[in-house]
Amino acid sequence: MEFIQSLNELLFPSRCISCSALGLSLCSKCRRGWNPHIYITHIGRGKESLRVTSSVLYSPIAQKVILAAKENHLERADVLISSAITHSLENLLREEWVDYLIPIPSRKSATRLRGREFIKEMAGPASEKFRIPLQSPLLHGRRVRDQSGLDLQGRRNNLEGAFVVEMEVGLYGNAVLVDDLVTTGATLIEAARALRYAGIQVIGAVTAALAQPLR
Ligand SMILES: [Zn+2]
């Protein structure tokens, strides 16, 4: 096994995910753009409000890491994202009790194309490490148009009713949403709204990356 591993490295040497320099998953220069820390933001207002814990700031480097994992299934990029999610959750667990994790689902077409439920896979290591089960009661309810170019209110209107909740058994206790990236927060707010309406207690969200500003 070790032999195959080193043969693989010989044939396909590691390159920096961001700038392609030979060596590490992220070279020391690009590492500065993926430097796990803790960022806490509050999205939504009043009873819709949600606390989001993230690990890295979104940057061109973070964008490349997320794309490499999501669209190219690059294992080294997966590890960076799942570790960032684990880091965020670890921080949240210092203050909150969490009974289960709910990954934001991808559209069926995206899942088919990627051959996997991306966020669910990225949440796997955190779920295992802290022994917190993953639950998937969220489903996409209807088609929504592309979010890019829309502001928070535009996104919220676009996403209204985007999720439906389907539960085989009742889910009791504290739920935390998981996503790769939070931008305006519209997706997380809408997902939390749908879940809370179904009686699920959503106490927060964790993401790998945070894009600022949150407007
Ligand atoms: Zn680099």
pLDDT at residue number 144: 72
CA of 64 to the centre of ligand 1 (A): 11
CA of 135 to the centre of ligand 1 (A): 36
The CATH number given to 34-210 is 3.40.50
* Mean pLDDT of all residues in 130-152: 84
Residue 212 clears pLDDT 70, i.e. is over it: yes
Q: Structure tokens of 59?
A: 């940057």
CA distance 138 to 191: 8
| DSSP string for residues in 148-203 | TT--HHHHHHHHTT-EEE--SS---SEEEEEEEEESSSHHHHHHHHHHHHTT-EEE
* Mean pLDDT of all residues in 151-167: 80
CA of 29 to the centre of ligand 1 (A): 6
pLDDT over 90 percentage in the chain? 57
CA distance 138 to 72: 25
Q: Choose the weakest-confidence range: 23-37, 91-105, 111-125, 189-203.
A: 23-37
pLDDT at residue number 3: 57
User: How much of the chain is helix, strand and coil, in % rounded to 5?
Assistant: 40, 20, 40
User: In sequence order, what are the beta bridge partners of 163?
Assistant: 140
Are 102 and 206 in contact, with CB atoms under 8 Å apart?
no
Residue 126 clears pLDDT 70, i.e. is over it: yes
Residue 160 clears pLDDT 60, i.e. is over it: yes
pLDDT at residue number 10: 58
* Mean pLDDT of all residues in 182-198: 93
CA of 129 to the centre of ligand 1 (A): 29
pLDDT at residue number 107: 86
Q: State the average pLDDT for the chain.
A: 88
Strand, helix or coil for residue 116: coil
Residue 110 clears pLDDT 90, i.e. is over it: no
Residue 119 clears pLDDT 90, i.e. is over it: yes
Residue 78 clears pLDDT 90, i.e. is over it: yes
List, by residue range, all CATH 3.40.50 domains of the chain: 34-210
Label residue 214 by pLDDT band (50, 70, 90): very low
- State pLDDT tens for residues 3-61: 555 555 556 668 898 998 887 888 989 998 898 899 999 999 888 899 999 999 999 99
CA of 24 to the centre of ligand 1 (A): 8
- The pTM of the full predicted model, rounded to 2 decimals, is 0.88
